[in-house]
Amino acid sequence: MTKQQKISAKIKQKALELGFISCGFSKVEFLEKEAVYLENWLKKDYNGKMSYMSNHFDKRLNPALLVDGAKSVISVLLNYYPNKDLFKDKGLKISKYAYGTDYHFVLKHKLKDLLKFIISEVGDVNARVFTDSAPVMDKVWAEKSGLGWQGKNGMLISKQKGSFFFVGEIILDVELEYDNPTENHCGTCTKCIDACPTNAITKANVIDGSKCISYLTIELKDEIIPKAYQNKMEGWIYGCDICQDVCPWNRFSKPHSIPEFNPHPELSNTEWTELTEEIFREIFKNSAVKRTKYKGLKRNISFVKQT
């Protein structure tokens, strides 16, 4: 076994010990195919009012511009699938990923622990951890690392684990034993396309983000949601799980074992129409739901209740 193979095996083992459900490696390179895709996606305004998606265009396509001397991308998956769908039979719903502590904190902490381990094994390295808060095409690198494929709904999907997981990366200047991409196993299935109430999935792997319920309830900061989406929200007031819930591969999803992702004990008992700012701060003080702020969540509740 070569030196690269040994350290690669150790990193994957440590990743599992830290609670990640998968870990894979890909070689840093310029994302030529994705450059064309991203340019066309932006030209069609599929990013809606997410103006930040057009920032740092070159950095999104070349990790070497984010980390000097970058050679490898370590991609990891962290499961968040809950023991129970808290809002399955309720009129107002929030996405499963937001039940517990904001994933940015949890994922970053675990990635930093993994990086500390790498440093202990190979010495000082030039590296950065990424948790969906920087211009990195995380699903592309996870796909290249063999952790899954990007489905027709734009989600990374694993045959063994479904798609209810977070994706994170470490970009570093260390050569590793690289993994091979897996095949796309969506086939002729169109369940996610058929189920999307706002027609946000325009065709295979092309998502009109400006129509997505997650965009409308989280990213869109306007005082009102466009009337065109009345009667189409299907109860979602923060995020949306429709395309994942109908995906056949998610029959393989298993409940997570991350304590931080367990829901606040009062989450499922919340009377949304009577939500006060004090209750909002208590239940969502460590949650990703804080992104909408109290005013934004009340806007969403009001809009959905009108439909």
Q: Which pair of structure tokens corresponds to residue 291?
A: 């992104």
Residue 99 CA to residue 260 CA, distance in Å, equals 9
231: left (phi over 0), alpha (psi -120 to 50) or beta: left
Where b means 16+ CB within 10 Å and e means fewer, 229-256 reads beebbbebbbbbbbbbebbebbeebeeb
Question: What's the N-to-C CA distance of the chain in angstroms?
Answer: 62
Residue 247 CA to residue 150 CA, distance in Å, equals 12
Task: Please state, as a whole number, how many other Cβ atoms lie within 10 Å of the Cβ of residue 213.
Answer: 28
Task: Please state, as a whole number, how many other Cβ atoms lie within 10 Å of the Cβ of residue 227.
Answer: 10
Residue 114 CA to residue 97 CA, distance in Å, equals 22
| Cα-based distances in Å from 64 to 68, 70, 124 | 6, 5, 18
Q: Which pair of structure tokens corresponds to residue 83?
A: 């023991």
Identify the DSSP state of 242.
H
Are 99 and 263 a contacting pair, CB within 8 Å? yes
| DSSP-assigned beta bridge partners for residue 167 | 77
| Cα-based distances in Å from 137 to 133, 265, 274 | 11, 34, 39
Three-state DSSP at 6 gives: helix
Q: Which residues are catalytic?
A: 132
Cα 18 to chain centroid, rounded: 19
